[in-house]
Amino acid sequence: MNRTEATGGGAQRSETPAALGTQRSSPGAQLSQSELDALRGQIQRNWSILAGLDGAEGVRIRIQMKLDPSGAIVGTPEVTATGGSESARRILAGGARRAVLKSSLSSNFRPKNMTPGAKLS
């Protein structure tokens, strides 16, 4: 092995400049997991769930909303509920919708470094 002469091995240097991302968000940009967790926490703090609600077993709530660059909700949040009884789905979906609206009024959904115009689903 000759350790005195460099042979030029290894990866070749690229002449292409590094990608710098985009200044504007692309349509339908998604939030990162940490951003979703922060928003979920804000909503949960404002969501009162009735203990012992009949038919609530297995109910899953899904909330979809769009945010503008300032973090304000654009349009109306779409809340869907699956599983459980019809009355439990209706009650829990209504509570989720109120929690989202209350959270957006008390503070914009704008965690640090959130992608402007991102969509939450």
DSSP lists the bridge partners of residue 13 as none
Contact status, residue 70 vs residue 107, Cβ threshold 8 Å: no
Contact status, residue 89 vs residue 82, Cβ threshold 8 Å: yes
- What is the full per-residue pLDDT of the chain (121 aa) written as tens digits? 556 665 655 555 555 554 444 444 455 567 788 888 888 888 899 998 888 889 889 999 999 988 887 778 888 899 999 999 999 999 999 999 999 988 887 666 655 545 555 555 5
Contact status, residue 63 vs residue 120, Cβ threshold 8 Å: yes
Domain spans in the chain, listed from the N-terminal domain onward: 81-121
Q: Is the pTM of this model over 0.75?
A: no
Phi, psi of 120 (to 5 degrees): -105, 130
If one counts every other C-beta atom within 10 angstroms of the C-beta of residue 23, the result is: 6
Q: What is the model's pLDDT at position 87?
A: 94
Burial group, residue 68, by CB count within 10 angstroms (0-12, 13-18, 19+): middle
Burial group, residue 25, by CB count within 10 angstroms (0-12, 13-18, 19+): middle
